[in-house]
Amino acid sequence: MGELHIEIIHDRIRREYNIETHLGPLQVAYRETVLRPASPTDTLDQTLGDRRHVVTVGLAVRPWAGSTSSTSCDITYKESVEEQLPPDVKVAVENGIQSSYLQGPLLGYPVQAVSTTVESVSIQSGTSGTWCLPVCHAAC
């Protein structure tokens, strides 16, 4: 609700119920969103112990195209990618994307009204699917 809405309700409570109320300073819940489409690709190449882990994730991020405003972020997969990904990798990819939308890149506010398509996921053999989480977080 906006500041004017809160003031109107405050006045109605005072007039209709004869209750004196006090409003503290108003706080605004800012949100961030995407204005133009982008296609980030990020690669994680780390050596842990004697094993090398390489994961590459390609995304397509664009503004929400729905007819109503959305407070969530939609995640879809390119058909060829969805067919080849095991369930644990899909969970890691989705968790990484969702965690990146908790803090936006500009001011750190939550991101909303964004559609994300997972375009590609490449995991080197011997690398666990959970390594996708930090890669998706960095790509978004």
The predicted-structure confidence for 66-99, as pLDDT tens digits, reads as follows 766 667 788 999 999 988 988 988 988 898 899 8
Per-residue pLDDT at 18: 93
Per-residue pLDDT at 16: 95
Q: Please, is 128 exposed, middle or buried when counting C-beta atoms within 10 Å of its C-beta (0-12, 13-18, 19+)?
A: middle
Per-residue pLDDT at 73: 82
Give all domains of the chain, ordered by start, each with its CATH number. Answer: 1-29 (no CATH), 41-139 (3.30.230.10)
CA 32 – CA 25 distance, rounded (Å): 23
Q: Is the pLDDT assigned to residue 135 strictly greater than 90?
A: no
Q: Is the pLDDT assigned to residue 133 strictly greater than 70?
A: no
Strand order in the sheet with 73-77: 41-48, 51-63, 114-123, 73-77
**CA–CA–CA angle 120, 115, 2 (5° rounding):** 155
The predicted-structure confidence for 26-66, as pLDDT tens digits, reads as follows 888 889 999 999 999 988 888 888 888 888 999 999 998 87
Q: Please, is 92 exposed, middle or buried when counting C-beta atoms within 10 Å of its C-beta (0-12, 13-18, 19+)?
A: buried
Which pLDDT band, with edges at 50, 70 and 90, does 134 fall under?
Answer: confident
Which pLDDT band, with edges at 50, 70 and 90, does 1 fall under?
Answer: low
